[in-house]
């Protein structure tokens, strides 16, 4: 039978035939696609015509197209619909792909050809996007060791292969350790304080495992967060908190301590081989931040304003705990519980009051309507597009002329085969090869509370902002309109990629936007204005604490990735974390918890030496949204500028150049400090 992955798109919309793809199809397809990609490279190398932009740079850009498509399908599904068999296959395929990439990047004859094209091309005759591409491709070879001697090339190849294995291993350990914990409750009194929706979800989860008269709580966010925020039983909160906090660092088969130390050690070795002081220096060369010094400068500016205010916020929550005869001092597993009590007292606002107005389907509609008003897009649900799981929704995206713009998959509910958190991803990028505009296939994946027997999926306000966040990433992918796929959509510097996503969250706080979709799921009543005002008033509740926490996580990332000397053989993860958090610690230390061991963002999610990017992007989005508010949040001209300079351009130019094109000036931290209430 023909392997469907050899032609991975089908039907009039060129979508993925998920139903035809079996696990046994992946390996032969990837092996074959690697051979095809190698043949394409050989053709470039052996071309007797002198190297030029078209026959070398543009040809290289298009090489391995099928391999990229098949790999995207496999690794996206390994995150959203995995299995033991798939994870095992990932461990087999990752080294093959890494070996192929390393071989290409270290191919001396290919690099000579690339270098000739780079040196012989008259840059002034290229358009801006082509100029950016030739610079990027040449630099990527240099950054991947093309100028190294044979011995160092071999060492680099071995390091890259091992890093890809370790990264996968880290991610799988976190998933397995998370899935291995379940808190079974037999007495309803143990759920005292929990909203009915959370109780019902716990009951439904237990029922799904064959237990009729029990409740089940696990470490998935829709289960974990409500329990930490509302459960009156302090000892159970502590148990759940410790289970979550010790993921990856317990004495079991899924312990990540040695894995992460080897990752940090090898990343440092890689940077040294390539001539950089640290892995952070290597990474940040290709970021807006440019250097570790600029990252620390950002943190110092934020911490100076935030840390004293965060201490005041903690003291205020402690006062609430004292008032309710709670523990003094609070522990970490008490903080969410008493913070929620304080929030209720200050704003008379809680998730349960808001959730009836945020039915999932309405929130999706709200995101779509926002995009329609800003960018003139229409989202048409299609039942004829194959999906990889029954819970997935599929949409065709059209512009104001009714032209096809993109396909969007939306996958909203947790399951054991899906990693936790929320993300946007791409199954196929956008390009303009062969005089066609290939439109993208994009996906957003979240883990929201599932509908129960009596209620639809009702989102917390935090989940609404998560939806808008991932939708912002999706817009960046869907509105891409560049020529070269490697510069298109979200293929931008990591500290720039969060700008569209974090910017979109701002609309969730605006009455004009909430009026589009925030209707009570039973009565249809639009969310009352006093609740909208409370949402705005509470926007900066614990903002200093959250700022300090983000900076602390960013500093922990840098501790592992800004090493300028090899990591000591006897390095202790707990001691390193303690030293890292000395200037940002707001709570007593808890023995046995090591955040690093489950810090998937930096050890398996692409954010190594890049976790600061969230705060960096917040600086950009606060500045950008001030521009929107000056002109009106649905102002067509401002939205058009954002689309023209940011969303459609992708990574086709330096991001600061693009930002200044949109905004007319460079950003500063002032707008973020104002937005966060840390400075007037």
Report the catalytic residues: 470
Radius of gyration of the chain (CA): 25
What the block records as the tokens of 209 is 């495992």
DSSP state of 359: B
> Helices H, strands E: what count in the chain?
27, 7
424: helix, coil or strand? strand
What the block records as the tokens of 316 is 């205020």
Q: Phi and psi (nearest 5°) for 285?
A: -60, -30
Q: Which residues does residue 428 pair with via DSSP β-bridges, in sequence order?
A: 441
d(CA 595, CA 241): 12
For 139, residues 6+ apart whose C-beta sits below 8 A from its C-beta are: none
21: helix, coil or strand? coil
Count of CB atoms situated within 10 Å of the CB of 253:
9
- Check whether the bond before 329 is cis (ω within 30° of 0): yes
Q: Which residues does residue 183 pair with via DSSP β-bridges, in sequence order?
A: 217
The sign of the CA dihedral 337, 338, 339, 341 is positive
Tell me how far CA of residue 241 lies from CA of 236, 584, 614, 630, in angstroms. Answer: 8, 20, 25, 43
CB 380 within 8 A of CB 408: no
Query: Using H for helix, E for strand and C for coil, what is the string for 104-150?
Result: HHCCHHHHHHHHHHHHHCCHHHCCHHHHHHHHHHHHHHHHCCCCCCH
d(CA 680, CA 671): 10
CB 240 within 8 A of CB 178: no
């Amino acid at each position: 039978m023909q392997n469907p992955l050899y032609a991975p798109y089908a039907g009039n919309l060129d979508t993925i035939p998920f139903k035809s793809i079996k696990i046994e199809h992946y390996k032969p397809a990837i092996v074959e696609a690697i051979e095809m990609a190698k043949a394409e490279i050989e053709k470039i190398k052996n071309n007797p015509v002198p190297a030029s932009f078209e026959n070398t740079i543009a040809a290289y850009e298009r090489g391995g197209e099928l391999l990229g498509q098949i790999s995207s399908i496999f690794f996206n599904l390994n995150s959203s619909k995995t299995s033991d068999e798939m994870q095992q296959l990932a461990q087999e395929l990752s080294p093959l792909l890494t070996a192929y990439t390393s071989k290409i990047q270290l191919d001396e004859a290919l690099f000579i050809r690339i270098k000739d094209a780079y040196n012989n091309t008259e840059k002034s005759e290229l358009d801006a996007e082509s100029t950016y591409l030739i610079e990027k491709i040449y630099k990527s070879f240099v950054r991947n060791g093309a100028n190294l001697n044979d011995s160092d090339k071999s060492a680099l190849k071995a390091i890259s292969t091992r890093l890809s294995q370790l990264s996968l291993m880290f991610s799988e350990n976190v998933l397995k350790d998370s899935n291995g914990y379940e808190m079974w409750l037999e007495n309803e009194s143990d759920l005292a304080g929990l909203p009915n929706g959370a109780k019902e979800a716990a009951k439904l989860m237990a029922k799904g495992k064959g237990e009729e008269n029990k409740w089940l709580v696990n470490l998935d966010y829709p289960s974990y967060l409500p329990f930490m925020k509302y459960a009156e039983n302090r000892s159970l909160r502590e148990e759940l908190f410790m289970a979550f906090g010790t993921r990856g660092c317990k004495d079991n088969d899924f312990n990540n301590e040695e894995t992460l130390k080897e990752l940090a050690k090898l990343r440092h070795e890689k940077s040294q081989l390539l001539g950089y002081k640290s892995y952070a220096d290597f990474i940040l060369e290709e970021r807006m931040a440019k250097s570790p010094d600029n990252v620390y400068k950002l943190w110092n500016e934020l911490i100076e304003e935030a840390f004293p205010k965060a201490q005041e916020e903690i003291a205020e929550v402690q006062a609430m705990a004292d008032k309710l005869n709670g523990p003094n001092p609070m522990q970490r597993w008490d903080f969410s519980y008493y913070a929620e009590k304080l929030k209720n007292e200050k704003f008379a606002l809680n998730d349960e009051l808001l959730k009836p107005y945020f039915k999932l389907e309405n929130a999706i509609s709200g995101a779509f309507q926002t995009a329609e008003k800003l960018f003139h897009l229409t989202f048409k649900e299609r039942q004829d597009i194959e999906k990889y799981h029954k819970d997935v929704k599929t949409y065709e995206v059209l512009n104001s002329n009714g032209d096809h713009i993109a396909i969007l998959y939306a996958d909203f509910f947790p399951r054991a085969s899906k990693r936790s958190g929320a993300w946007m991803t791409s199954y196929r990028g956008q390009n303009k090869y062969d005089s066609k505009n290939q439109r993208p296939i994009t996906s957003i994946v979240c883990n929201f509370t599932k509908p129960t027997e009596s209620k639809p999926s009702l989102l917390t306000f935090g989940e609404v902002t998560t939806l808008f966040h991932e939708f912002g990433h999706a817009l960046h992918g869907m509105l891409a309109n560049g020529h070269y796929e490697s510069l298109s959509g979200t293929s931008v510097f990591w500290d720039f990629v969060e700008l569209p996503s974090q910017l979109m969250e701002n609309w969730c706080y605006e009455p004009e936007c909430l009026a589009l979709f925030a209707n009570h799921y039973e009565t249809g009543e639009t969310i009352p204005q006093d609740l909208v005002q409370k949402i705005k008033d509470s926007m900066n509740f614990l903002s200093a604490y959250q700022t300090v926490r983000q900076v602390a996580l960013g500093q922990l990332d840098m501790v592992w990735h800004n090493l300028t000397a090899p990591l000591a053989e006897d390095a202790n993860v707990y001691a390193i974390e303690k030293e890292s958090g000395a200037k940002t610690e707001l709570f007593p230390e808890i023995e046995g918890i090591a955040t690093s061991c489950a810090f998937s963002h930096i050890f398996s999610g692409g954010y190594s030496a890049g976790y600061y990017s969230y705060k960096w992007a917040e600086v950009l989005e606060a500045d950008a949204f001030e521009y929107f508010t000056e002109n009106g949040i649905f102002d067509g001209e401002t939205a058009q500028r954002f689309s023209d300079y940011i969303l459609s351009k992708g990574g086709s130019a330096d991001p600061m150049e693009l930002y200044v094109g949109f905004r007319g000036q460079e950003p500063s931290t002032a707008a973020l400090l104002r937005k966060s209430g840390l400075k007037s």
